[in-house]
Chain A
Amino acid sequence: DTQMTQSPTSLSASVGDRVIISCRASQDITSAVAWYQQKPGKAPKLLVYAASRLESGVPSRFSGSGFGTDFTLSISTLQPEDFATYFCQQYHGAPPYTFGQGTKLEI
């Protein structure tokens, strides 16, 4: 199975900051990566798929990039509602699908 190594595991930032979260795949997965946001007690929310395509309704301050083994999720201007946990998922040649460990974004 393809392993996804996500970093950092936690990140402190302030409203208005730009943050970048990374995922590295254990093998070439082309652009088969999705990113999700999860808030405590809430259902995870799909943000980005195919490495860089924004899901409908997701604010444009979110963006994804990467190809092959290295991927990033960027949030350009942090808003208070963006403080959450983010995780990546790979789906190249899947199933089985695999996920990163998650990044907790804190104020």
Chain B
Amino acid sequence: QVQLQESGPGLVKPSETLSLICSVSGGSIRNYFWSWIRQPPGKALEWIGHMSTTGDSRYNPSFESRVTLSADTSKNQLSLGLRSVTAADTARYYCARQEGDVFDIWGQGTDVTVSS
């Protein structure tokens, strides 16, 4: 079955760029939209944005100015880049596959702390 695994540095300095990878196994990343979602401590989930391997992408306006999503079909991986991070970007970050507008498969998430 399809499995997702997020990875990346657990600690990022303020003003730097947060970079995460979502590795997909058990299926191709083609033909789906893939989302990034985060959950700050004690807060609700926040949808960051999604993309497909055809290049279609949409972003939450709250993140649009500083987020980049990309895909590497040769590695079956998705990537998230979030620039100019602050402490408010401390969260657990998830990648998730979309079936229509719902998220049918999620990764376990990776914790990111923004601190100097």
Residues of chain A touching chain B, judged by Cβ–Cβ distance below 8 Å, are 4, 32, 34, 36, 41-46, 49, 55, 87, 89, 91, 94-102
* Top 7 A-B pairs, shortest CB-CB distance: A91-B101, A99-B45, A43-B106, A97-B47, A96-B60, A34-B102, A44-B106
Within 8 A of A (CB), among B41-82: 43-47, 49-50, 58, 60-62
- Please state if A94 and B101 are interface contacts (CB–CB under 8 Å): yes
B interface bracket (residues with beta carbon within 8 Å of A): 20 to 34
Q: Contact partner of B4 among A41, A42, A43, A49, CB < 8 A?
A: A43
B108 interface residue per 8 A CB criterion:
yes
Q: Contact partner of B104 among A55, A94, A96, A101, CB < 8 A?
A: A55
Q: B45 — which chain A residues lie within 8 A by C-beta?
A: 87, 89, 99, 102
- Please state if A98 and B103 are interface contacts (CB–CB under 8 Å): no
- Please state if A95 and B106 are interface contacts (CB–CB under 8 Å): no
**Docked CA distance A42–B46 (Å):** 18
Q: A99-B44, A100-B44 are in contact. Are A32 and B109 (CB under 8 A)?
A: no
- Please state if B50 and A95 are interface contacts (CB–CB under 8 Å): yes
Q: A44-B103, A46-B102, A55-B104 are in contact. Are A101 and B47 (CB under 8 A)?
A: no
Interface of A, helix, strand, loop or mixed by DSSP: loop
Q: B8 — which chain A residues lie within 8 A by C-beta?
A: none
**Docked CA distance A95–B96 (Å):** 15
Q: B107 — which chain A residues lie within 8 A by C-beta?
A: 43
- CB-defined A-B contacts under 8 Å, sample of 22: A32-B101, A36-B103, A41-B108, A43-B107, A43-B108, A43-B109, A44-B94, A44-B96, A46-B102, A49-B100, A55-B104, A87-B44, A87-B45, A91-B101, A91-B102, A95-B49, A95-B60, A95-B101, A96-B61, A97-B35, A99-B44, A100-B44
Q: B44 — which chain A residues lie within 8 A by C-beta?
A: 4, 87, 98-102
A23 to chain B, nearest CB (A): 11
A10 to chain B, nearest CB (A): 13
Q: B60 — which chain A residues lie within 8 A by C-beta?
A: 95-96
**Docked CA distance A4–B106 (Å):** 21
